Amino acid sequence: MLDVLTRADVPAEVGVQAVPADRPSRAEAEAAVRTLIRWAGDNPGREGLHDTPARVVRAYEEWFGGYARDPAQILGRRFERAGYDDLVLLRDIPLRSVCEHHLAPISGVAHVAYLPGEKVVGLSKLARLVDAYARRLQIQERLTCEIADTLQRELQPRGVAVVVQASHGCMSSRGVNQHGSAMLTRRLLGAFEREPYRREILQLLSA
């Protein structure tokens, strides 16, 4: 009845989108980092910080690599469902993102499920889709919707369910300084909006 994998690995290879024409140069990005270091009260020219701007820019290329990925291409290769018409569920997809309000880290897991229509995709593609949207400046609510809506649009399944559970650095490292709290968001589409699938998927995703 159920196809479940856990702790999905997220490979890096995906289709590449065009770079915006107005994107700052690497030199401009590194200069911006040096400005922030000075604003924080330190000297970007001292030994320990001399190479930090270049390191930060390289890290940003990785952390925000999702802007260069085309979600439609990630789901482009599809397969006949070979008679299988029940639930496909991938649990515990590692998720790392950055809050667009404070540039603080978001970390947690995503659970993605769908009821196949005519086609299915390799399970690794679900993990890559989550990763592509997570590696952008995000709020968790939008991230959850983007994953679910893209699956619905590209695969045209009978139903999609996405649940994201994550901790936010903007709460744990500043402001209210609340540690150990986690935010839960979900989006249910198609058959999962109705019983009995709604009850079944929520039970499976809360297990």
DSSP secondary structure letters along the chain: --EEE-S--------BPPPPTTPPPHHHHHHHHHHHHHHHT--TTSGGGTTHHHHHHHHHHHHTGGGGB-HHHHT---EE-TT--S-EEEEEEEEEEEETTT--EEEEEEEEEEE-SSEE--HHHHHHHHHHHHSSEE-HHHHHHHHHHHHHHHH--SEEEEEEEEEEHHHHSSTT---S--EEEEEEEEGGGSTTHHHHHHHHHT-
The active-site residue out of 30, 146, 152, 168 is: 168
Q: Is 50 designated active site?
A: no
Domain boundaries, the chain: 3-8+73-205, 26-65
Q: Is 111 designated active site?
A: no
The active-site residue out of 30, 99, 138, 146 is: 99
Q: Using CA atoms, how far apart are residues 23 and 6, in angstroms rounded to an integer?
A: 37
Q: Using CA atoms, how far apart are residues 33 and 29, in angstroms rounded to an integer?
A: 7
Give yes or no for a contact between 44 and 38, defined as CB atoms under 8 angstroms apart: yes
Q: At what angle do helices 123-134 and 140-155 cross, to 10 degrees?
A: 140
Q: In the prediction, which pLDDT does 70 show?
A: 96
Q: In the prediction, which pLDDT does 20 show?
A: 74
The active-site residue out of 101, 156, 178, 193 is: 101
Yes or no: domain 3-8+73-205 corresponds to CATH 3.30.1130.10: yes
One pLDDT digit (tens) per residue for the chain, 207 residues: 344 443 344 444 445 566 677 899 999 999 999 999 999 999 999 999 999 999 999 999 999 999 999 999 999 999 999 899 899 999 999 999 999 999 999 999 999 999 999 999 999 999 999 999 999 999 999 999 999 999 999 999 999 999 999 998 877 655 555 666 789 999 999 999 999 999 999 998 875
Give yes or no for a contact between 17 and 132, defined as CB atoms under 8 angstroms apart: no
| Selection from 126, 124, 111, 122 nearest residue 81 by Cα | 122
The two tokens of residue 39 are 């604003």
CB neighbours of residue 60 within 10 Å: 13
Per residue in 122-158, pLDDT (tens digit) is 999 999 999 999 999 999 999 999 999 999 999 999 9
Q: In the prediction, which pLDDT does 37 show?
A: 97
Q: In the prediction, which pLDDT does 8 show?
A: 40
The active-site residue out of 73, 100, 145, 165 is: 100
Q: Is 179 designated active site?
A: no
The active-site residue out of 73, 165, 170, 200 is: 170
Q: Is 145 designated active site?
A: no
The active-site residue out of 140, 146, 152, 154 is: 140
